[in-house]
Amino acid sequence: MESIDRRRFLITTATGLAGILAAKMPPAFGQQREISYLCWNNFAPASDKKLAEIGQRFTRDTGIKLKIDHIAHPQQAAKYASEVQSQAGHDLVEMRMHFPWLYEPQLVDVSDVVAELEKKYGKALSSAQDTANVQGVWRAVPQYHTFFVGSYREDLFKKASLKVPDTWEDLYTVGKELKKMGHPVGIPISQNYDSISTASPVLWSLGGMEVDKDGKTVRINSPATEQMIEWYQRMYRDCMEPEVLSWTDASNNTTLNAGKSGWIHNPISAYIVARNSKLVTADGINHHRSLAGPHGRHETDVPRHIGIWKFSKNVEPAKEWIRYLLGKKEVYDEYVMSGDAFNLPVYANLQDHPVLKTDPKFAALKQEGVQFHCYGWPAPPSAKVQQITNEFILPNMIAKAVTGTSTKEAVAWAEKEMKRILAG
Amino acid sequence: MAVKRRPLRTKILLHLGLLPFLLFAVFPFYHMTLTSLKTDRELYDRHAVPLLIRQGATLDHYQKLLWDTAFLTWIKNSLLVTAIATTISVVIGTIAAYALARLQFFGVDPFGTGIFVTYLVPTSLLFLPLAQVVHWLGLADSKWSLVVTYPTFLVPFCTWLLMGYFRTVPKEVEECAMVDGATRIQALIRIVLPMAIPGIICAVLFAFTLSWNEFIYALTFTSSSDQITASVGITSELIRGDIYFWGGLMAGAVLASIPIVILYVFFLDYYVSGLTAGAVK
Amino acid sequence: MAVGSVRVDPAAPRPGLRLRELLDHERFLGPAFVTPALLLIVLLVAYPFVMAIYFAMSNAFIGRPSHFVGLRNFVALWESDSFRQTFQNAFVFTGAAIALKLVLGITLALLLNQQLWFKRMIRGAVLLPWVIPTALSTLGWWWMFNSLYSVVNWTGLALGLMDPPGPNWLGQKYYAMTAVVAVNVWRGLPFFAICILAGLVSIPRELYEAAEADGAGPAARFWHVTLPLLKPVLAIVILFSTIFTFSDFNIVYVLTHGGPINSTHLFATLTRQIGLESGQIGQGAAISLYLFPVLVFVVWAQLKFVRRQVY
């Protein structure tokens, strides 16, 4: 009896095993193409859901299997570095801001795809061009962008009959009143990107810059810089509170939503959270067009593109996915609509998008006459220029100047550090 | 540690002395739990009292975390990876520690010291070339890559810890057993290991905790939502740009602590009784 | 069974017996036991470590071919203000944190060693900081130090210990360092306390009784009996803690990002900023490897001390 049982056991196991092996064996023909896409966790969770939906339709329509993974944006650098190092990972990756310059040798030339999109939708915005086009070659396809805008407590302004600011000088004037009312202005001066996002437009609108267009000459030591510092010193003293020295990227959102700040410089993320969480401040928040200075109306922009790693074995299917997501206007529109106006299209003819009409508070996002730039403008965002941004030299210079260091000393320090980085 | 009855006054003073330590240790946990139960409205209310829930407790954050995200999968991954990595590390560490503490052989001294070198390279640097190795092993984007790489920082620690404990077991006991006819391995299993149980439990607890808390390897070696671990999943899902979902993050912190709390409470008794038993001998 | 084909002569044992005898032999068992650990370390640590050294001595940049440059990275770093500040911060941070953890750890262990009510609960509570996943507990602490909602300030104001609005914890130079040290101590104290407790418990009672009989008071007993016998445990704990504290990343990254004005940057956070986010892997590796001689020295000092005590 024992031997019969054993034989039966062996037979069933063998059959089972054979079955498993057969199932795992790929068919000789009709092998399904598979691609994977690593993108960030969108501000708007609904947008991620929409992306998954579109991905499934893509698979149904083209037969290419698509796997979408998400990652938080602070972790992108580590993740991308390890994928490049091991020359394996995803096929498509989200390239935020000026990352295409950093990873240029590893990204596929996608000029053909961009040419198609530009023919349909008009030229990509200058900030997208500056960041995704590396020395004449498109290394990533511009997808959408998130820009900074003035976010303010309209109800407080109305109560005190304050004028909605149009220039950075105007901001100082209303800021003084706001602080007296107990609702100071909230501009961070610390080691985070929001700080650079405000300092840069202020500097640009005064005609200043960190590094020149040639990407080699440090121009931080200029009268414009000194004017910017002087403005910040006044703002810090009369319109803000010392806590701005401790802020992270989330802090200004929090103080606006909590009802403390009267004015912050931020993308619309603050308002969206207030609205969706039904906070008391939600109704009072509104936005206005970016502020100007003597040398124009400049604003910080965070464009996001899609790139394809060179080590990918599925470059053509990957390009098909991009064409599906962005090339078909209905799909692109659908995707943008799900984003709560966080992610706005980045091509010239799509600027006045229906998503802006979904909430009256989005009206200001039309941003007429505003020039968008990414960090480091006007210098091309080479790796060294990006390092200047990543080392927070601009905010640290301002922080020094508002906490006791003399302007000349602070500027000299910044100049020395920037020169060292460019040389190194 | 005298066992005579201490006067009540001394006992009370003793407990008062412990109070600041307890507050310091427990308060952040209390604050995090409270935050996870507050409504968004109260969280943003800057006039709210941080120490209490005034505007009604809510289980919203927990619900969103448990049902709207792959939280349970992440916890399962964390538990699996941690349990296996800990087991592997403690086993490897135990035998290595025994060899280094007891046996004489070529290379014992340099190896004992050399084991430390592995700690001097921080994981924040090591992870990049290690990603390459993981890829060569065919383990990219899999939680098994973590099972293989976690022992790299767990084994040296376990080895060193257990070396110390093995040294406290008197050689005579082992030698007695061997004279009686037991092989070295039998002596190890039947005599030495039981005496070193507190040390082993200690090693298990610490290895478990270090492994559970690990972040950077988990982040870089896994991507798919069904492979990532709890810390990575929670911070990825609930930090979007400059929006932090505080309620959810704190709910995640509370829920992710529960498995370890259970483990510790369960083993602490054994650990402590093991310690005191060792002292009484 | 043919004569002579079964050998009963113990001088030439059957294979099974030989294996068992071998396993009894120290010179074979030792290396055998140590091999798994050795393999693990060689494959998964030694190779990446050598690669890391190569990175540090090259101009490695993410995804680009690299060239050997010798010690240039190490030298160039000294000209960077953020690096010099980081070097200083690391010693201040580690020194303060370890000193606090040592003193508080011994105190706590002594207290825990006594006969207590609710012993299990108290010992469990003390371990809590160790139990919460680090990435999340540091976020919790950020919320506690947050300029708007800080429960620390709220409590301080409520108790009248602070003037409104309370210290700017993460925005002022020395306060920020205090805050990150506090969080590190909070997280590391259980480790110290539990390890020292284990050491305390193994001190034979007879020594205390003998000292008491000689007329020694509690303080003298601590100084002459407890402390000397704790030294081996303390050495090991300080050793491990020094390594972990020097290479700490999460606390500074989440709370201050290295600020204000680089005053809390540590080696690990600076490496992330320059090595990863800016792509300069070579420089990043060099920053990390600056830790190496420091740690080697600490390890050497401790090991010498431990060997002397324990062997």
Residue B103, domain member (yes or no): yes
Taking the C-alpha atoms of residue C14 and residue C6, their distance in angstroms, rounded to an integer, is 10
CB within 8 Å: A246 and C256: yes
Please give the residue of chain C at the shortest CA–CA distance from A414: C81
Residue B193, domain member (yes or no): yes
Out of A96-100, A365-369, B139-143, give the one with best mean pLDDT: A96-100
Give the mean model confidence (pLDDT) for residues B48-75: 83
Give the mean model confidence (pLDDT) for residues A328-348: 91
Percentage of chain C surpassing pLDDT 70?
89
| Confidence category of residue C278, pLDDT binned at 50, 70, 90 | confident
CATH code, C96: 1.10.3720.10
| Confidence category of residue A408, pLDDT binned at 50, 70, 90 | very high
Same domain, C132 and C194: yes
DSSP string, A311-357: T-S-HHHHHHHHIIIIISHHHHHHHHHTTTTSSEE-BGGGSS-GGGG
Percentage of chain B surpassing pLDDT 90?
8
pLDDT of residue A218: 93
Query: Which one is the CATH code of A34-147+302-366: 3.90.550.10, 3.75.10.10, 3.10.20.30, 3.40.190.10?
Result: 3.40.190.10
pLDDT of residue A153: 93
Select from C258, C259, C276 the Cβ nearest to the Cβ of A81: C276
Residue A362 has pLDDT above 70, yes or no: yes
Domain of residue B233, residue span: 76-245
CB within 8 Å: B140 and A89: yes
Averaged pLDDT score across all residues of chain C: 81
Residue-wise pLDDT for C66-109, tens only, equals 889 888 888 888 888 889 999 999 999 999 999 999 999 999 98
Residue A26 has pLDDT above 60, yes or no: no
Residue C87, domain member (yes or no): yes
Domain of residue C36, residue span: 15-56
pLDDT of residue C21: 65
From chain A, the residues in CB contact with B56 under 8 A are: none
Residue C309 has pLDDT above 70, yes or no: no
Please name which of B266, B279, B121 lies closest in space to residue B204, comparing C-alpha atoms.
Answer: B266
Residue-wise pLDDT for B25-43, tens only, equals 999 888 888 888 888 888 8
DSSP string, A158-198: HHTTPPPP-BHHHHHHHHHHHHHHT--EE---SSSHHHHHH
Percentage of chain C surpassing pLDDT 90?
14
Select from C64, C168, C176 the Cβ nearest to the Cβ of A105: C64
Residue C73, domain member (yes or no): no
Residue-wise pLDDT for A154-178, tens only, equals 999 999 999 999 999 999 999 999 9
pLDDT of residue A21: 45
Q: Model-level pTM? A: 0.85
Same domain, C134 and C276: yes
Give the mean model confidence (pLDDT) for residues C185-212: 84
Residue-wise pLDDT for A139-159, tens only, equals 999 999 999 999 999 999 999
Residue B169, domain member (yes or no): yes
Taking the C-alpha atoms of residue A141 and residue A147, their distance in angstroms, rounded to an integer, is 18
Residue C192, domain member (yes or no): yes
CB within 8 Å: C273 and A251: no
Residue-wise pLDDT for C226-251, tens only, equals 888 888 778 878 888 888 888 888 88
Residue B216, domain member (yes or no): yes
Same domain, C160 and C36: no
Q: What is the number of CB-based contacts under 8 A between chain A and chain C?
A: 109
Strands A371-373 and A298-308, sheet pairing = parallel
Residue A22 has pLDDT above 50, yes or no: no
CATH code, B116: 1.10.3720.10
Percentage of chain B surpassing pLDDT 70?
89
pLDDT of residue B281: 31
Averaged pLDDT score across all residues of chain A: 88
Residue C65, domain member (yes or no): no
Out of A121-130, C45-54, C132-141, C166-175, give the one with best mean pLDDT: A121-130
ipTM, 2 dp: 0.81
DSSP string, C260-282: STTTT--HHHHHIIIIIIT--HH
Residue B278 has pLDDT above 70, yes or no: no
Taking the C-alpha atoms of residue A122 and residue A96, their distance in angstroms, rounded to an integer, is 21
Of residues B13 and A234, more confidence is placed in A234
CATH number of A159-289+391-423: 3.40.190.10
Domain count for chain B: 1
Same domain, C160 and C52: no
Please give the residue of chain C at the shortest CA–CA distance from B134: C44
Residue A53 has pLDDT above 80, yes or no: yes
Please name which of B29, B196, B37 lies closest in space to residue B102, comparing C-alpha atoms.
Answer: B196
Residue B172, domain member (yes or no): yes
Taking the C-alpha atoms of residue A132 and residue B60, their distance in angstroms, rounded to an integer, is 41
pLDDT of residue A8: 52
Interface residues from chain C to A (CB-CB < 8 Å)? 61-64, 76, 79-82, 142, 146-149, 165, 168-172, 176, 256-262, 272-274, 276-281, 283
